[in-house]
């Protein structure tokens, strides 16, 4: 074998290994996203037990993902890997608020900081859905607890001032989150006013009787 052929063979071997890791990591990333989506759906259905099971499975798969690509920057920073991390943060954040009533800190995750802040941005959207569910049930006080945690998450995003190249688009996430929070605040305010009017009318009718 000539020197040129040997060089080409070594190069092909290196790329074959990279491609194998890419295929494995792509499959695992998709599995993580599926598990996280199931967990989020279960939280919306108030099935906390099943939500926890899916988070545990996602955590196991995320550990596998880290073990195979942690030393390969081309894979570690691939879009689909970061997407899986972001979905995991969202699922854990959403679940843990239901259980603990707090925002899970970054120190509890083993992932890129950009994935964490993007996960917060996505979770704010899920908290809005929860708030609206409670408003439909006329539970304004409970809806307000979700508005409060949304604002706490927004506070984290507001405190960070780094280039989008490092944060994966922090400004876009912050702007979207701010819009979601303002709509939620408006919805809660309107619900409060409507409920107050309903009570006033009810009292008037009782007085007339």
Do 188 and 128 share a structural domain? yes
Other Cβ atoms within 10 Å of 61 Cβ, number? 22
Q: What region does 104 belong to: left with phi over 0, alpha with psi -120 to 50, or beta?
A: beta
Question: What are the structure tokens assigned to 182, written together?
Answer: 């303002």
Do 186 and 94 share a structural domain? no
Do 131 and 97 share a structural domain? no
Confidence check: pLDDT of 209 > 70:
no
Do 162 and 79 share a structural domain? no
Do 118 and 49 share a structural domain? no
Confidence check: pLDDT of 207 > 70:
no
Do 180 and 148 share a structural domain? yes
Domain that holds residue 179: 112-209
Do 90 and 14 share a structural domain? yes
Do 180 and 97 share a structural domain? no
Kindly report, residue by residue over 33-90, the tens digit of the pLDDT.
Answer: 999 999 999 999 999 999 999 999 999 999 999 988 877 878 888 889 999 999 999 9
- What is the pTM (predicted TM-score) of this model? 0.88
Rounded Cα distance between 104 and 89, Å, is 9
Q: Is 190 exposed, middle or buried (0-12, 13-18, 19+ CB in 10 A)?
A: exposed
Average pLDDT over residues 155-167: 89
Q: Which of 86, 103, 120 is the last residue of a domain?
A: 103
Rounded Cα distance between 86 and 118, Å, is 6
- What is the distance, to the nearest Å, from the Cα of residue 148 to the centroid of all Cα atoms in its chain? 17
Return the percent helix, strand and coil in the chain, to nearest 5: 85, 0, 15
Average pLDDT over residues 79-103: 95
Q: How far is CA 131 from CA 17, 65, 77, 185, 199, in A?
A: 47, 34, 34, 10, 22
Do 204 and 122 share a structural domain? yes
DSSP 133-188: HHHHTT-HHHHHHHHHHHHHHHHHHHH----HHHHTSHHHHHHHHHHHHHHHHHHH
Do 185 and 88 share a structural domain? no
Kindly report, residue by residue over 108-151, the tens digit of the pLDDT.
Answer: 998 999 999 999 999 999 999 999 999 999 899 999 999 999 99
Rounded Cα distance between 99 and 163, Å, is 34
User: Domain holding 169: CATH number?
Assistant: 1.20.58.2140
């Amino acid at each position: 074998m000539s020197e040129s052929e040997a060089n080409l063979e070594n190069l092909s071997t290196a790329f074959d290994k990279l491609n194998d890791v890419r295929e494995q990591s792509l499959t695992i990333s998709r599995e993580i996203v599926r598990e996280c989506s199931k967990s989020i759906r279960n939280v919306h259905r108030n099935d906390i037990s099943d939500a926890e099971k899916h988070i545990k499975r996602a955590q196991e798969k995320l550990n596998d993902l880290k073990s195979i690509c942690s030393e390969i920057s081309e894979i570690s920073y691939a879009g689909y890997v970061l997407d899986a991390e972001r979905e995991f943060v969202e699922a854990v954040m959403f679940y843990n608020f239901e259980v603990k009533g707090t925002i899970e800190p970054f120190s509890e995750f083993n992932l890129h900081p950009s994935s964490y802040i993007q996960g917060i941005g996505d979770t704010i959207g899920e908290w809005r859905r929860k708030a609206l569910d409670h408003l439909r049930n006329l539970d304004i006080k409970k809806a307000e607890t979700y508005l409060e945690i949304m604002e706490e998450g927004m506070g984290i995003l507001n405190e960070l001032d780094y280039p989008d190249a490092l944060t994966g688009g922090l400004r876009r996430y912050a702007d979207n989150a701010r819009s979601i929070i303002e709509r939620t605040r408006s919805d809660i305010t309107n619900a409060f006013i409507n409920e107050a009017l309903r009570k006033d009318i009810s009292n008037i009718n009782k007085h007339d009787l």
